[in-house]
Structure 1
Amino acid sequence: MDIQVRGIGPLGGFGAGICQLERRIDGRCDITPEMLTIEKNKQLMTLACFKADTSRLIEFISPKKLRRIDHLSRMALLGAGLAIADAKLSPKELEETGIILATGYGALETGFSFLSSFLDKGDQLSKPTLFSNSVHNAAAAYISISFGIKGPSLSVSQFDLSFSSALLTAMLWIEEGRTKSVLVGGVDEYCDVLGYAAANLYAAKNTQPPTLGEGGCFFVLSKSSVCNETGYAQLAKVDIFDQNKTPFFAKNRLVIMGRPGYGAGNDMALDPSYICQDTLYGTFPSAAALDMGTACLGLKKKTLFNKMTQQSCGKQNFDPNTILCITPGNSLSGKITLKSNKNELQLP
């Protein structure tokens, strides 16, 4: 089935929007991660983290309506708004669109804040706003209400495989005719508890933690027959496979390999030709969505694809019409296959 990526809404430490992501990929945007200090047993550990800025959200939603919305939901709203605007969805199309939101850990900062208020003040005086924002489907509900989306809604949480699982479900919805279009995305936030856990995990391994991050990316998916114009790429296939039975990747395929978010999963053996983007926007469970956004832009723009191949070593003559995005988890891994809409693309 020909499913098109019609719109993209990325956000992260690099900024928000397609132009900002493209500038980050091709090296025109140089940003420095925020350095965070974690204390354990009176010893200080340092972490680097790319923090996301949601100030552009006022382009879609008034500040008054955002007053009680937490950071994770704000990131989700911004990514959704950018993807919807990029896809040029009409109000009628939005009514018939489904929502699938993937998050590895959900609104952790809000959840821990609610837990603190519960422990400090008891169940009768704990803060109800924190509780309502802490549930995993709150962000999807905010998107539905804010943009007038009346299709089915689902929130998926499967740690590093959250986005792959959400994408697989989105394809099934379209194939079954449950909805004509699906707004699907992955988003995760950083919080101090995760930083503490990551620092301790890598201290136990006696290795330096990777650069952490937060943010995500949203996509509007539709059948080609529904689109008025050609999208960024064709979403050809989504697989979830046993990591101990790693499938063979064709030698001429460009592979974007993710890292386990916050150290939750296991690193797969990295071929030197694989592209790892964690240095561009950080490591977090839903970074797989940004990897897919990178792949879509690479397939759409020949110059960007060429810059991506220059990052790889040991391989030549990449197929410019296919990119694989691999996300390792604990024992399973996700594989997203994207194909170009323009078969005439050729490498120089």
Structure 2
Amino acid sequence: MNVHGIGILFSGGRGILSFENVLKDGWQRPAEYDIPHINKKTLAYIVKPEYIEDKVLLKKMRRADKFSKMAVIAASDAIKDSGLDIEKNRIGVILSTAFGAHQTSFDFLDDIIDYGEVGVSPITFSNSVHNAAASYIACALDITGPTLTVTRFFFSFQSALQLAQTWINDNCCDHVLVGAVDVCGEVMRYVFDKKSGSSADGKIRPFNFSAPSNPVPGEGSVFFLVSGRSAENAYCRIADIDFN
């Protein structure tokens, strides 16, 4: 399975070039954000609002939530990055996530408490459904192939890759947009602080085995356009997908 295009949206910007520049610049301290209901701040890698502004691409998604907008932008950029002319009915979409649009889900629950069942927004409810983002991708990019959302706390992206390989092998589609999306909203920052707490200096030390190292929460989206076809300009080939 070959990777033909990559789209990425993260705290440092949008696109492969932005990601490359951030890697070259080295580590930068993440920004501080308020934790709701307690007088405290936490460090987090959050996607800035200006990175999600794309009036042309998102013109039909003005009421979509941040989760769906990040997904659409990364998926669209992956197709553009490939430079391929692809039949839209032969493209599949697989979105993987650990927590889905959890912030929108909690916003909907807050509305039920504040306004009652008859006063809640149906748009907020529709955006809280985990498969909404994949549907937004299909609508925004005119894709009519199969779409699916994989939700797992662990290895959701690896599971999505396995499914993409199956679709290609079974000739369900020629190309698959497979990606991962997660947001870090107020609820997540609150829970994170209560359960773990962010690294005091904002640095993640995964190989520091002598002492526990606290992680840093973050959000972003990344999509890969993959297929079983070979191409000279492909980024790489995924030879195998295995995880335990």
Q: Same fold (TM over 0.5)?
A: yes
Q: Deviations over 1:292-317 (max 9, x none)?
A: xxxxxxxxxxxxxxxxxxxxxxxxxx
* Aligned residue runs from structure 1 range 50-89, under 5 A: 50-53=45-48, 55=50, 59=54, 61-62=56-57, 64-89=59-84
The corresponding residue for 1:148 is 142
Distance in 2 between the 1:31 and 1:4 partners? 32
Report the alpha carbon displacement of residue 31 of structure 1 after superposing the two structures with TM.
4.0
The corresponding residue for 1:214 is 219
Letter in 2 for 1:232: Y
| Contact kept? 1:14, 1:31, Cα under 8 Å | no
Distance in 2 between the 1:62 and 1:39 partners? 32
Distance in 1 between the 2:226 and 2:46 partners? 27
Question: What SS does the corresponding residue of 2:242 show, helix, strand or coil?
Answer: strand
Using CA pairs below 8 Å that are at least 6 residues apart, which structure has the higher relative contact order? Answer: 2
The match for 1:17 among 15, 18, 24 is 15
The corresponding residue for 1:187 is 181
* Aligned residue runs from structure 1 range 124-203, under 5 A: 124-202=118-196
After TM superposition, the score normalised by the length of structure 1 is 0.62
Distance in 2 between the 1:181 and 1:188 partners? 23
Distance in 2 between the 1:24 and 1:189 partners? 20
Report the alpha carbon displacement of residue 177 of structure 1 after superposing the two structures with TM.
1.3
4+ long deviations beyond 6 Å? none
Report the alpha carbon displacement of residue 81 of structure 1 after superposing the two structures with TM.
1.0
The corresponding residue for 2:238 is 235
Report the alpha carbon displacement of residue 118 of structure 1 after superposing the two structures with TM.
1.1
Report the alpha carbon displacement of residue 170 of structure 1 after superposing the two structures with TM.
0.6
The match for 1:4 among 2, 5, 9 is 2
Distance in 1 between the 2:58 and 2:146 partners? 27
Identity of counterpart residues, as a percentage? Answer: 36
Unaligned runs of 5+ in 2: 198-210
Matched, 1:33 2:27: no
Q: Deviations over 1:152-205 (max 9, x none)?
A: 1100000131111111111111112111110000010001111111111125xx
Report the alpha carbon displacement of residue 59 of structure 1 after superposing the two structures with TM.
4.9
| Contact kept? 1:34, 1:49, Cα under 8 Å | yes
Letter in 2 for 1:214: E
Matched, 1:104 2:98: yes
| Contact kept? 1:12, 1:216, Cα under 8 Å | yes
The corresponding residue for 1:274 is none
| Contact kept? 2:91, 2:173, Cα under 8 Å | yes
After TM superposition, the score normalised by the length of structure 2 is 0.86
Question: What SS does the corresponding residue of 1:239 show, helix, strand or coil?
Answer: coil
Distance in 2 between the 1:222 and 1:18 partners? 20
Distance in 1 between the 2:41 and 2:155 partners? 27
Letter in 1 for 2:8: P
Change (3 A) 1:145 1:63: closer
Let me know the Cα RMSD of the aligned residues: 2.2
Looking at CA atoms only, which structure, 1 or 2, has the larger radius of gyration?
1
The corresponding residue for 1:271 is none
Distance in 2 between the 1:94 and 1:127 partners? 32
Question: What SS does the corresponding residue of 1:236 show, helix, strand or coil?
Answer: coil
Distance in 1 between the 2:169 and 2:14 partners? 31
Distance in 1 between the 2:11 and 2:3 partners? 23
The corresponding residue for 1:344 is none
Report the alpha carbon displacement of residue 147 of structure 1 after superposing the two structures with TM.
0.5
Distance in 2 between the 1:163 and 1:34 partners? 27
Letter in 2 for 1:165: S
Distance in 2 between the 1:183 and 1:128 partners? 28
